[in-house]
Chain A
Amino acid sequence: MTFFMRSRSALIRSLVLALPVLCALEQPLAAATFGTVVPIGGQASDLALDESRRVLYIANFNGNRVDVMSLDNNAITRSIQVTAQPSAIALSRDNKYLVIGHYGNFEAARNAVTVLNLEDNSRRVFGVGSSPLAVAFTNQNLALVVTSTEFLLFDPMSGQTHTIDTVAGLQGKTLPIVAPANSQVIVRAAVAASQDGLWLFGLTDKFLFRYDVRLGQLGITSYTSSPEMGPRTVSVSTTGTYYLAGWGLFDRQGTLVAQFPNPSGKLDIGSHALDLERGLIYAQMTQADPAATSQTGTSTPVSSTTPAPAAATDSSGPILQVVAADNLAVLDRLQLRENLTGRSVLNSARDVLYSISASGVTIFQVGQLAKAPRIRSEQREVLFQSSSCTREQQTKDIVISNPSGGRVAFSLTTSDPAIIVTPDSGVTPAVVHITVNPGAFLNAKGTSAGYIDIHASGAVNLPDRIRVLVNNREPDQRGLIQNIPGKLVDILADPVRSRFLILRQDTDEVLVFDKNQRQIAALRTGNTPTQMAITADLRYLLVGNDNSNIASVFDLDTLQPSTPVRFPVGHYPRSIAVSGNAILASVRSGSGVHKIDRIDMASRTAFPLPNLGVYTNDVTLNTGLAASPDGSSLLIAMSDGRVLLYDANYDTFVAARKDFDKLSGAIAASSYDFFIVDNHVLNSSLVPVGTLNNGAGTSSGFLFVDQMGFRSNSLGASQAGMVERVNLSQLQGILPTRITESPLTSSTDGGFTRTLAVLGNREGLISLTTSGFTVLPWNYDAASAPPRIDRVVNAADLSDNIAPGSLVTIFGSQLSPAPGLAGDPLTADALVQSCLTVNGSLAPVIFSSPDKINAQIPYNAAGSTSLILRTPGGASDAFRVRVVPGAPAVFRTGTAGAESGIPTIVRAANNELVTVSNPIHRGDDLVIYATGLGRTNPEVPVGSPAPYEPLAYAVETPRITLGGVALPVAFAGLTPGLIGVYQVNVLVPRSVPTGFDIPLRIEQSTAASTVPVRVVP
């Protein structure tokens, strides 16, 4: 082969290898978007899908025409000139007529309805008295035309019109709700029908309405409030059981099941389509500036001290959200080419979505979404933990992938230079190493958070950020962290079932854990769940939702959803508490006057209390409720400093005070007439009787257990947390103890927090903390003295022979805060908190108990060597041992029947230990297990199991004799799969002497070890 041929071949190989990367990089550098825009040369105001003719009719408001787009090639194939300003269109159910409403802008002469006969292309124009705003067909092939003043039923065949009601008449009818402002005119409307045509739902600028076709009843279901119900569009499920109107998801009765959080209410931007069969909603929803809308939607009572934004820095462009149809939890976020501006319709196969957009129509192949290039990290959070024992650089892996399976180029940026990603760019799927040097976070004695942003111009979605948590702890900090990604806002123990429940707000779920901290279920709540409560019969779990007019209800035995509690229109339950008499909820009210509602579990409804005893039912947005464990009282605390006490025995409010300018933080009620708000202690008249130590940070949680209290405070977002027992009679904290990371505290806009719960049958405490939750044993504050080392010997024969790599046993006192073997989480944490250094290097601890530790001497140890043990109680004095290159010692760990301490020498003939009854025979093969054979080739990292391939041979082969006769050594080195355990394989010659106590001697370097064995012919 010539040089040229070789070069050409190499070039081809290189191109083949590089092709996938080149293909990935070939994707446009501008951000990819989802959907295809079809401009119409005007402003689309409505559309109607005619699948029988394979066309989409688009009302071109400014062009005074209806554009017809072919569904086959997504091109405008023709335009139908119509009367001026077509504002609404609808296709009759027999696909024969296209009804077009013409918005006359209050010029009566221009208000009209055009009927296009699609079969013979004839048209008729009918004048109407007021401006047509929206139109939809019933199953009777009649068009419901919503005008600015009337609701008309229009027969396209005959042209006859029947007035169902007027706007004024409809508002004047007796309703269970009161109209905020009466008016005879509406200026904006949208209406849509269920697929069966039996239910029509509509939205106007003043109210929402429902038309029951079978009963011919038109009625208002609710009035719109601030913000306006934008976007001005309605989507209805196939059978009309649910519909979306503006930013709300409603059931047929008009209950707001969920709403998009923090909506801007913009009327002219956004759209949505409901695919209940697939459990999905496609929506573009603009959000308001949170700072400007604290009273309108989504402020939450609890937030992480280091909140993780839901996604990377939002693109400035429009976003199509794919959300769950039951609670609007966001599943995916797709980038749009341009804003959607009105109605969206799905085809009958529900795989193509047509939406009015700024240029005309945008077509989304939602059925092909699974094949669209997307990007995500399979791990949303990564937690690094370090302590005074583990300051080394740590690396963890994440996987960046394309859920659709294709290759997408990406790059990664970090928020903190101490977080290093390798590689920082690539093509999916890719494993990325995240490396963190804990030393960079030494000033934080808790958990610091950083972020990794994923950028992929070829992906149509906006990926979530990856939160990188780095926990640094001192030896005295207690608790075992369990990382739970997301925004956790409440915790509640279910003592009957030995479970605890955590509310995860970002995914709208209740996470159910057993007492072993294993998650056993995830229950889907309404949107933006805020607080939980368990009914007095301990059967049901109630969950308040800040963006739903319902409280979710779950059966705690079956962990299945039960009928939710419906709240009055505009009432969003935020905090719920159960007494022995009443179940009360503080609700955010759309009217701006927030209330206390009472829940009736029998009817699963709630109603506002007419008053709070002698007090007006007017509470602040951030109002927290806490029930005493015996259900005798409910404490209500408000962010403006007011507190109220509901007495279940008298079913009334018996106390109300305002001794503070503002309140937030922990809230709790005891059965012994003590109440806690923030750091304040109140008596049964809610008179402040004392303050718990204010200098201990921000209050987070308070938990009453009998007459004792537990209190958790945050010392700073990235600092340690603090937990202490509280003696209420003396108002004193007992043994304040630092915990591994900060407990969660209320967000800056106030709010009340519950972050502590009892684990199991008082086996420990669970605290919501920065990374998830932290498990504390019940005796977390037990005193711990510094460790003391008395003796260090090799773990084989307990002699002083110690070599590099030897397993050693350390005898002493206070060596470990908890006995046990590795595997148990709390013991594992104790092991994490304890470390042994040998000449300053970490030595792996294999077993830990208060008076004994087994560990491995590092392979680089030599000569006079210092051992120091660190535990949560402190550091031991240095203990010096002499480490020699080779110090073999045969393990005396063998057992045979009742016998123990037998040298671990195994006859290969029967794979049993050599004993008096299993003597060595001449010609036997033996395996001698020992430690202390020193360094190996290849070297094996300390604390790591020895490899199977290649075998790790002892650098210096030991000399073995039996009764003075040398035994040929077949292998001497580390036993594969074990840490620090060596084996020597030898053959017994026929010349060895026989007898009971024949000395088997292992010599290496200057050390030797001898064990007596029985030898027979």
Chain B
Amino acid sequence: MTKNRIGRTTLALIFLAVPALAEEHWDIGFAAGYGFYKNVTATNATGKASVGFRPGVAFAAHAGNEMNRWLAGEARYTYRQNDAWVSARGTEARFDADSHILTYDLIFHLAGRPAHVRPFLAAGAGAKIYRGAGREAAFQPLSNFVALTRATQAVPVASAGGGFKIEMNRLITLRVEARDYASPLPRDVVTPVPGARVHGWVHDIVPMIGISFNVGR
């Protein structure tokens, strides 16, 4: 099931990238930032708990092209360091975890080329692979809500965000942007136990700053 989902997402990214490859204006770049999660709520007969992931650093790489002066598309990979986490009534449990995000985003520039500062909006979709990597133990606090498990799980992810491109010179552009990666809770890693229910999606909000290198101008 998960493998099929990853395959379909990859095909969509390829189809979106084909027109871009036909254009002249290319850029590739790197970014770094620190991400925050808006977690979900788990409930059981005894009460509620916040369930999800802890904030952590983010590193991203992208490759894109401008199809015209307003529209661009880019493929993006983001690594997130994000420990799995559950918390309730002052008690919490953590579990080493990270994730890998692959998305294709459309970029809508609000100022056309060749403006020096070009605000933009971005939206896209892809897959997020969560990986629980901690040491399992017989006792985990709040295990009556979720079990934090050593497992790997891919889930679909939706991406939305915006930022600014500031052209430093003909080849280098500074990018300041933020993305919200919204995904369902990876239930193989953060597993609701029988008797507990989880509501909502996990939002991973990642501000980043980076540079891109213009190719083909």
- Chain A interface (Cβ < 8 Å from any Cβ of B): 894, 896-897, 899, 902, 910, 912-919, 921, 996-997, 1014, 1016-1017
Is B140's CB within 8 Å of the partner chain A?
yes
**With A917-B147, A1016-B151: A902-B194 Cβ-Cβ less than 8 Å:** no
Chain B 117-135 interface 0/1 with A at a Cβ cutoff of 8 Å (1 = within): 0000000000000000001
Q: Which of B174-217 contact A (CB under 8 A)?
A: 188, 193-194
- Whether A918 contacts B194 by the Cβ 8 Å rule is no
- Whether A902 contacts B138 by the Cβ 8 Å rule is yes
Contact of A915 among B135, B143, B150 (CB under 8 A): B143
B26 to chain A, nearest CB (A): 41
Q: Which residue of A lies closest to B141 (CB)?
A: A897
Neighbouring B residues of A915 by C-beta, 8 Å: 138-140, 143
- Whether B139 contacts A896 by the Cβ 8 Å rule is yes
State in angstroms the CA–CA spacing of A1016 and B136 once bound together. Answer: 12
Neighbouring B residues of A914 by C-beta, 8 Å: 138
- Whether A912 contacts B193 by the Cβ 8 Å rule is no
Kindly list the 6 A-B residue pairs having the minimum CB-CB distance in the complex, ordered from nearest. Answer: A917-B140, A897-B139, A896-B139, A896-B138, A913-B138, A912-B138
- Whether A917 contacts B138 by the Cβ 8 Å rule is yes
Neighbouring B residues of A996 by C-beta, 8 Å: 193-194
* Contacts between chains A and B (CB distance < 8 A), count: 51
State in angstroms the CA–CA spacing of A509 and B147 once bound together. Answer: 69
A221 to chain B, nearest CB (A): 83
B1 to chain A, nearest CB (A): 13
Is B137's CB within 8 Å of the partner chain A?
yes
A691 to chain B, nearest CB (A): 69
Contacts beyond the supplied A910-B135, A910-B136, A917-B148: 17 A-B pairs with Cβ under 8 Å: A897-B141, A912-B138, A915-B140, A916-B143, A916-B193, A917-B137, A917-B138, A917-B139, A917-B140, A917-B149, A918-B136, A918-B137, A996-B193, A996-B194, A1014-B147, A1016-B149, A1016-B150
A921 to chain B, nearest CB (A): 8
Neighbouring A residues of B137 by C-beta, 8 Å: 896, 910, 912, 917-918
- Whether B188 contacts A918 by the Cβ 8 Å rule is no
Count how many chain B residues have C-beta atoms less than 8 Å from C-beta atoms of the other chain: 16
24 A-B pairs with C-beta separation under 8 A: A896-B137, A896-B138, A897-B139, A897-B141, A899-B139, A910-B135, A910-B136, A910-B137, A912-B136, A912-B137, A912-B138, A914-B138, A915-B138, A915-B139, A916-B140, A917-B138, A917-B140, A917-B147, A918-B140, A919-B147, A919-B149, A921-B150, A1016-B151, A1017-B151
Neighbouring B residues of A1016 by C-beta, 8 Å: 149-151, 188
B184 to chain A, nearest CB (A): 18
Neighbouring A residues of B193 by C-beta, 8 Å: 916, 996
Chain B 149-181 interface 0/1 with A at a Cβ cutoff of 8 Å (1 = within): 111000000000000000000000000000000
- Chain B interface (Cβ < 8 Å from any Cβ of A): 135-141, 143, 147-151, 188, 193-194
State in angstroms the CA–CA spacing of A694 and B118 once bound together. Answer: 118
State in angstroms the CA–CA spacing of A996 and B143 once bound together. Answer: 13
Q: Which residue of A lies closest to B148 (CB)?
A: A917
Neighbouring B residues of A912 by C-beta, 8 Å: 136-138
Neighbouring B residues of A921 by C-beta, 8 Å: 150
State in angstroms the CA–CA spacing of A996 and B194 once bound together. Answer: 8
State in angstroms the CA–CA spacing of A899 and B144 once bound together. Answer: 11
State in angstroms the CA–CA spacing of A897 and B138 once bound together. Answer: 8
State in angstroms the CA–CA spacing of A897 and B149 once bound together. Answer: 18
Contact of B136 among A897, A899, A919, A1017 (CB under 8 A): A919
Neighbouring B residues of A919 by C-beta, 8 Å: 136, 147, 149
Contact of A918 among B138, B141, B151 (CB under 8 A): B138
B85 to chain A, nearest CB (A): 14
State in angstroms the CA–CA spacing of A434 and B18 once bound together. Answer: 98
B135 to chain A, nearest CB (A): 7
A917 to chain B, nearest CB (A): 3
Neighbouring A residues of B194 by C-beta, 8 Å: 996-997
B58 to chain A, nearest CB (A): 28
Q: Which residue of B lies closest to A912 (CB)?
A: B138
State in angstroms the CA–CA spacing of A521 and B140 once bound together. Answer: 53
State in angstroms the CA–CA spacing of A1017 and B153 once bound together. Answer: 11
Neighbouring A residues of B188 by C-beta, 8 Å: 1016-1017
Q: Which residue of A lies closest to B136 (CB)?
A: A918
State in angstroms the CA–CA spacing of A109 and B193 once bound together. Answer: 124
Q: Which residue of B lies closest to A906 (CB)?
A: B138
State in angstroms the CA–CA spacing of A899 and B147 once bound together. Answer: 14
B168 to chain A, nearest CB (A): 48
A894 to chain B, nearest CB (A): 8
Neighbouring B residues of A899 by C-beta, 8 Å: 139
Neighbouring A residues of B148 by C-beta, 8 Å: 917
Of B136, B150, B193, chain A has the most CB atoms within 10 Å of the CB of B136
B155 to chain A, nearest CB (A): 16
State in angstroms the CA–CA spacing of A514 and B128 once bound together. Answer: 72
B76 to chain A, nearest CB (A): 29
Q: Which residue of A lies closest to B152 (CB)?
A: A1017
- Whether A917 contacts B135 by the Cβ 8 Å rule is no
Of B135, B138, B139, B148, chain A has the most CB atoms within 10 Å of the CB of B138
State in angstroms the CA–CA spacing of A1016 and B191 once bound together. Answer: 11
A65 to chain B, nearest CB (A): 98
A758 to chain B, nearest CB (A): 49
A339 to chain B, nearest CB (A): 81
Neighbouring B residues of A997 by C-beta, 8 Å: 194
Q: Which residue of A lies closest to B93 (CB)?
A: A917
State in angstroms the CA–CA spacing of A897 and B139 once bound together. Answer: 6
B47 to chain A, nearest CB (A): 16
State in angstroms the CA–CA spacing of A1014 and B147 once bound together. Answer: 11
Neighbouring A residues of B139 by C-beta, 8 Å: 896-897, 899, 915, 917
Q: Which residue of B lies closest to A1012 (CB)?
A: B194
**With A902-B138, A910-B135, A912-B138: A917-B143 Cβ-Cβ less than 8 Å:** yes
State in angstroms the CA–CA spacing of A883 and B115 once bound together. Answer: 91
State in angstroms the CA–CA spacing of A912 and B148 once bound together. Answer: 16
A913 to chain B, nearest CB (A): 4
State in angstroms the CA–CA spacing of A913 and B138 once bound together. Answer: 5
A242 to chain B, nearest CB (A): 73
Of A902, A910, A916, A919, chain B has the most CB atoms within 10 Å of the CB of A916
State in angstroms the CA–CA spacing of A452 and B201 once bound together. Answer: 88
A993 to chain B, nearest CB (A): 14
State in angstroms the CA–CA spacing of A821 and B205 once bound together. Answer: 59
A992 to chain B, nearest CB (A): 15
Q: Which residue of B lies closest to A995 (CB)?
A: B194
State in angstroms the CA–CA spacing of A902 and B143 once bound together. Answer: 14
Neighbouring B residues of A1017 by C-beta, 8 Å: 151, 188
State in angstroms the CA–CA spacing of A997 and B194 once bound together. Answer: 9
State in angstroms the CA–CA spacing of A534 and B143 once bound together. Answer: 66
Q: Which residue of A lies closest to B95 (CB)?
A: A917
B148 to chain A, nearest CB (A): 7
**With A996-B193, A996-B194, A997-B194: A916-B141 Cβ-Cβ less than 8 Å:** no
B91 to chain A, nearest CB (A): 11
Neighbouring A residues of B150 by C-beta, 8 Å: 921, 1016
State in angstroms the CA–CA spacing of A915 and B148 once bound together. Answer: 12
A908 to chain B, nearest CB (A): 13
State in angstroms the CA–CA spacing of A916 and B138 once bound together. Answer: 8
State in angstroms the CA–CA spacing of A918 and B139 once bound together. Answer: 8
State in angstroms the CA–CA spacing of A913 and B136 once bound together. Answer: 10
Neighbouring B residues of A894 by C-beta, 8 Å: 138
State in angstroms the CA–CA spacing of A125 and B141 once bound together. Answer: 111
A171 to chain B, nearest CB (A): 95
B163 to chain A, nearest CB (A): 39
B89 to chain A, nearest CB (A): 14
State in angstroms the CA–CA spacing of A528 and B204 once bound together. Answer: 93
Neighbouring A residues of B140 by C-beta, 8 Å: 915-918
Neighbouring A residues of B151 by C-beta, 8 Å: 1016-1017
Q: Which residue of B lies closest to A907 (CB)?
A: B136
State in angstroms the CA–CA spacing of A865 and B139 once bound together. Answer: 41
State in angstroms the CA–CA spacing of A726 and B94 once bound together. Answer: 68
Neighbouring B residues of A1014 by C-beta, 8 Å: 147
**With A996-B194, A1016-B188: A916-B147 Cβ-Cβ less than 8 Å:** yes
